[in-house]
């Protein structure tokens, strides 16, 4: 009996060690220098005028992956929202007026976060940044607002949050299908408006991602325990 | 010199990761996970991936950590636990 | 030993840690944390290998893939946590098996 229990405790370690051996063997056998795709991407980036190679890969060369990724995020948000135990969780104020330090910090940080988010999405074409990072900062600002008691329920109507969630994916999808209608392939941007279209997609994606992260966090909001002394 | 930095960073990263899994208290586990996320962001910077570092710090450590802390708080309020296996199954069947 | 082999090996260790945690730890939150470690280990391998082209301008395609992966991981984690919370509300358990619950 205890032998079986000992085996059951040892089995995860054996499996983990086997997986480790396989991956280490695979990594070790790769050559230390390899060309990769960076030269090919640099060429495309130079043509399109966008310096940030990751933005080029994300929204232009592999735009289909990004489209599916946003769809996955929205699907997960819908699923988490539908699992919430409290219908008004999104629109209820989580806490009453916060402690003074938290309130002061919120007043300081949230406008700063908004500026940082706009900067990140704008400068994402030439420097590190982009839609996902800006959306995460926006989401963090929204969570901070909710936690500190500043977010009044009537600011976020039922339609506003859902529109914010939908607009990013719908725009991306629309622009992607437009290129099919215009005779090209999926997500083939026309030459002149490539930069503009990418910027439009990024800005709306930022809004959607921020709304999604805030919804993911707020969907578990509750009255708060009465006996915890808060 | 930079190899020493890399070795120290990776050592800390793996130590914190193992620590997050071996803690019995949930709150400590989640805090170690957030620390792990921040060290991972520094690792991305060492690997010349600033976009990934930004995303990891904000999303990987920040939002995931906040969600997990919220879950820990939620799990603390024990609803009346079902003492036997049979009652738990009945409860799940009712849902 | 250059970073291009050091970090992928670290990623391999992290992945193995995640596998162990997923199988051995009973609490559902620990399983979620282990799942995140699985993802982070793979990301370390990918970006570590991306540095092979040259240190100053690493290969951007694995980095874009990892960026996508981070967002998908947070979506997955959020859904897993929501399911754990509902499961706890429904049954009062934080593990899969009530037998394990007493051991925790």
- Residue A229's pLDDT is 37
pLDDT band, very low/low/confident/very high, at A93 (cuts 50, 70, 90): low
**Distances in Å between the alpha carbon of C11 and those of A149, A157, B10?**
40, 44, 9
Task: Judge whether A140 lies within some domain.
Answer: yes
User: Which of C67, C69, C83 to mutate against chain A (most A CBs within 10 Å)?
Assistant: C67
Considering CB atoms only, which of B43, B75, B82 is closest to C91? Answer: B82
CA distance, residue A92 to nearest chain C CA (Å): 18
Q: Do C61 and A24 touch (CB under 8 A)?
A: no
How many residues are present in chain A?
230
Number of domains into which chain A is organized = 1
Q: Which of residues 29-88 of B touch C (CB under 8 A)?
A: 29-30, 33, 36, 40, 43-44, 46-49, 51-52, 55-56, 59-60, 63-64, 67-68, 70-72, 74-75, 78-82, 84-85, 88
The class level of CATH for C3-103 reads mainly alpha
Contacts of A53 (CB under 8 A, 6+ apart): A38, A41, A42, A45, C57, C60
Residue A229 located in a structural domain: no
Of A44, A201, A72, the C-alpha closest to A124 is A201
Number of Cα atoms under 13 Å in the Cβ half of residue A182: 13
Distance CA(A61)–CA(A71), nearest Å, equals 18
Nearest by CB to B64, from C56, C63, C74: name it: C74
Query: What is the distance in angstroms between the Cα of C93 and the nearest Cα belonging to chain B?
Result: 7
pLDDT tens column, C68-96: 999 999 999 999 999 999 999 888 888 88
The reported pLDDT for the residue numbered A35 is: 76
Asked if C15 and A19 come within 8 Å (Cβ–Cβ), the reply is: yes
Where do we find the tokens 């000992």?
A6
- What is the distance between the alpha carbons of residues B62 and A77, in angstroms, rounded to a whole number? 17
Model pTM? Answer: 0.88
| C-alpha triplet A91, A93, A97: angle, nearest 5° | 160
The answer to whether residue A40 sits within a structural domain is no
- Give the CA dihedral A213, A217, A218, A223, nearest 10 degrees: -170
Residue A200, pLDDT above cutoff 60: yes
What is the ipTM, given to two decimal places? 0.91
- Give the mean model confidence (pLDDT) for residues C6-26: 94
Is there a domain that residue A230 lies in?
no
First CA to last CA distance, chain A: 48
Helix (H) or strand (E) holding A138, with range, is: helix A131-148
Domains annotated on chain B, with CATH: 2-94 (1.20.120.1200)
pLDDT for B91 beyond 60: yes
Q: Do the chains contact at B74 and A220, CB–CB below 8 Å?
A: yes
φ/ψ of residue C96, rounded to 5: -75, -25
Q: Is A128 left (phi over 0), alpha (psi -120 to 50) or beta?
A: beta
Report yes or no: C89 at the A interface, CB cutoff 8 Å. Answer: yes
The domains of chain C are located at: 3-103
Provide the residue range defining the domain that includes A129: 50-218
């Amino acid at each position: 009996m205890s032998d079986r229990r000992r085996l059951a405790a040892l089995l995860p370690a054996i499996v983990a060690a086997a997986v480790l051996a396989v991956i280490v063997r695979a990594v070790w056998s790769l050559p230390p220098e390899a060309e990769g795709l960076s030269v090919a991407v640099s060429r495309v980036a130079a043509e399109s005028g966008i310096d940030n190679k990751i933005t080029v890969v994300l929204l232009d060369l592999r735009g289909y992956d990004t489209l599916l990724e946003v769809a996955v995020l929205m699907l997960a948000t819908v699923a988490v929202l539908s699992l919430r135990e409290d219908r008004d969780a999104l629109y209820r104020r989580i806490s009453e007026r916060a402690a003074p330090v938290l309130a002061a910090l919120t007043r300081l940080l949230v406008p700063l976060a908004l500026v940082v988010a706009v900067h990140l999405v704008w400068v994402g074409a030439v420097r590190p940044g982009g839609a996902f990072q800006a959306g995460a900062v926006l989401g963090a600002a929204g969570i901070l607002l909710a936690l500190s008691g500043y977010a009044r329920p009537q600011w976020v109507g039922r339609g506003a949050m859902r529109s914010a969630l939908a607009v990013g994916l719908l725009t991306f999808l629309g622009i992607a299908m437009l290129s099919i209608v215009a005779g090209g392939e999926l997500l083939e941007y026309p030459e002149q408006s490539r930069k503009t279209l990418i910027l439009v997609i990024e800005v709306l994606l930022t809004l959607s991602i921020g709304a999604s992260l805030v919804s993911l966090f707020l969907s578990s909001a509750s009255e708060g325990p009465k006996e915890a002394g808060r | 010199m930079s190899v020493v930095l890399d070795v120290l960073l990776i050592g800390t990263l793996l130590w914190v990761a193992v620590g997050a899994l071996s803690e019995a208290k949930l709150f400590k586990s989640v805090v170690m996970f957030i620390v792990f996320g921040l060290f991972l962001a520094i690792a991305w910077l060492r690997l010349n991936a600033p976009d990934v570092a930004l995303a990891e710090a904000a999303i990987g450590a920040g939002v995931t950590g906040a969600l997990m802390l919220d879950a820990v708080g939620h799990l603390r309020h024990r609803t009346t636990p079902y003492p036997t296996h049979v009652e738990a199954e009945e409860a799940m069947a009712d849902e | 030993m250059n970073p291009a082999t050091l970090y992928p090996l670290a990623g391999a260790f992290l992945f193995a840690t995640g596998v162990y945690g997923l199988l051995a730890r009973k609490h559902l939150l620990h399983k979620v944390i282990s799942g995140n470690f699985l993802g982070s280990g793979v990301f370390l391998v990918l970006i570590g290998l991306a540095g092979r082209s040259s240190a100053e301008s690493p290969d951007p395609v694995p980095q874009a893939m990892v960026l996508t992966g981070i967002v998908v991981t947070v979506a997955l984690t959020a859904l897993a946590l929501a399911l754990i919370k509902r499961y706890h509300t429904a049954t009062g358990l934080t593990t899969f098996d009530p037998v394990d619950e007493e051991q925790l």
